[in-house]
Amino acid sequence: MTSKTIYKIVPIILAGGTGSRLWPLSRKSFPKQFLNLLNDDRYTMLQKTYKRIDNLEHICRPIVICNEEHRFIVGHQMKEINIEPLEILLEPVGRNTTPAITIAALKALDIFKETNIEPILLILSSDHQIKDINNFQLAIKNSIENALNDNLIIFGVPPTYPSTGYGYIRSANQLDPNQYFASKVDKFIEKPNKKNAKSFIEDKKYTWNSGMFVFKATSILNEIKRFAPEIIKNCEKCLKKSKRDFDFLRLEEEAFRNCDNISIDISVFEKTNKAFVIPLNCGWDDVGSWESLWKMSKKDQNGNYLIGRVLAKETKESLIRSEEKLVVSIGLENIVIVETKDAILVANKESSQNVKNIVSLMNEKGFNEAINHKIVYRPWGSFLSIEEGKTWQIKKIEVNPGASLSLQMHFHRSEHWVVVNGTAKILIEDNEKIIGPNESAYIPLGVKHRLSNPTKFKLTLIEIQSGSYLGEDDIKRFEDKYGR
């Protein structure tokens, strides 16, 4: 590859995780990558993933890969930062990073096939925190030449403490954290015990595995063909059968499901002789637990990270977060307390890695709070269940500017809407009317209706449901702008 090669850096943003170790804030229905966990600015973690690279030379719009149930969240959050992705790929099931990267590489080549542009893939997780953007960008820039020479680059983070929560990379040579020289990858190490982690931090050959990569699309596909040929075949078949769904590409389920559930580290990087590691000294963290969030936060004089309505007395080295209620702590140390509308977590900070196991236990016991938030997000906005009984339910509904619910009817319930803020356009059978604050509308059982927000401001209303069955599946759609 010559220096005259015309290339584009194509960010591949992996946004399919569930972030269960940060329950109850992060849940399957709305995981951590769509949240602003540090309250440090107005951007979510997904948005910051692209914002921190959007001024790089040769950068282009991203390809985002996410779970299909999060498609409208991704689309909305990208639109909020004025980015139209090259593609939003919808995974029907989770299959780890090898199938996701394979699909993305094949799609990038397809996008640029009519050009003389070489796509270089920059693989990014959507839930990482990076403090030093300048050093992060320098590491990316210094990886490009290696990638153009058909090498596969992984970024290794010089460890700052003996973490047992990260995997490690051992390089062939010692690495200088202040330089960006690439060294051959010697070995990948799974999450170590405390003793080994302490020895790794003293050896300059060891770095944390950041899960971020740079390589040409052709280079990674050649190595996947060599070491995981069935994944290539299934992904090629999957792309051919995939269907366009508005702004999304819905991946065909059978072929994608047939892919091995395996990471790119194991399928390729542990086997290839083309793997190189570049040190990434940029204040990186994968925000994998409440303890890691506490480590990177700005703390008060007692070492506490406090968010929301919190009163802490004689409390040290703790993370306390309130979403709604007043939380008071007295005489506590090394504690995590997280309060949301429907759940409270209280844990020893050092045990916060085990939250994932508790979420699994809640799933086994059928607790809805394990997966779903009290607030449920829809492509048009959101709703919050305020109170409910066997035959009635009260919801707060928020409709985004210009958005509209489907034309629908219910077989088992009637609805009464009261506008509290904004302006609503309501269609009941063939009758359309506009109502404002303190005005209401009644929708009888079995009647076609649609709710819209015709303005540039958010619409908020209270919905009172009454009927023999109140499930969300009691709905028949006649028209829907979101293709549901």
108 is written with which tokens?
């990038």
Give the model's pLDDT for residue 2: 47
Task: Tell the residue number behind the tokens 């149930």, with chain if given.
Answer: 69
Omega of the bond prior to 24 within 30 degrees of 0, cis? yes
pLDDT value of residue 101: 98
For 196, counting Cβ atoms within 10 Å of its Cβ (0-12 exposed, 13-18 middle, 19+ buried), the class is: middle
Task: Tell which residue, 220, 200, 211, has the closest CA to residue 271.
Answer: 220
Residue 272's region, left for phi above 0, alpha for psi from -120 to 50, else beta, is: beta
Is residue 185 within 8 A of residue 154, CB to CB? The reply is: yes
Question: Is residue 298 within a helix (H) or strand (E), and if so which, with residue range?
Answer: none
What's the one-letter identity of residue 78? M
Query: What is the residue-level pLDDT of the chain in tens, covering all 484 positions?
Result: 445 789 999 999 999 988 899 999 999 999 999 999 887 678 999 999 999 999 999 999 999 999 998 998 999 899 999 999 999 999 999 999 999 999 999 999 999 999 999 999 999 999 999 999 999 999 999 999 999 999 999 999 999 999 888 999 999 999 998 899 999 999 999 999 999 999 999 899 999 999 999 999 999 999 999 999 999 999 999 999 999 988 899 999 999 999 999 999 999 999 999 999 999 999 999 888 999 899 989 999 999 999 999 999 999 999 999 999 999 999 999 999 999 999 999 999 988 888 999 999 999 999 999 998 888 888 899 999 899 899 999 999 999 999 999 999 999 999 999 999 999 999 999 999 999 999 999 999 999 999 999 999 999 999 999 999 999 899 999 998 887 7
First CA to last CA distance, the chain? 46
Q: Is the dihedral of CA 452, 455, 459, 461 positive or negative?
A: negative
SS3 365: coil
Closest among 337, 226, 206 to 277, alpha carbons compared: 206
* 255 token code pair: 């072929």
Q: Give all strands (DSSP E) within 182-334, no chain letters.
A: 183-189, 206-216, 243-245, 248-250, 275-279, 284-285, 305-307, 310-313, 319-322, 327-330
Q: What is the DSSP string of 146-212?
A: HHHTT-EEEEEEPPSS--SSS-EEEESS---TTS---EEEEEEEPSP-HHHHHHHHT-TTEEEEEEE
Which residue type does 483 have?
G
Domains along the chain with CATH numbers: 7-285 (3.90.550.10), 290-364 (no CATH), 375-479 (2.60.120.10)
For tokens 């909020």, the residue is 80
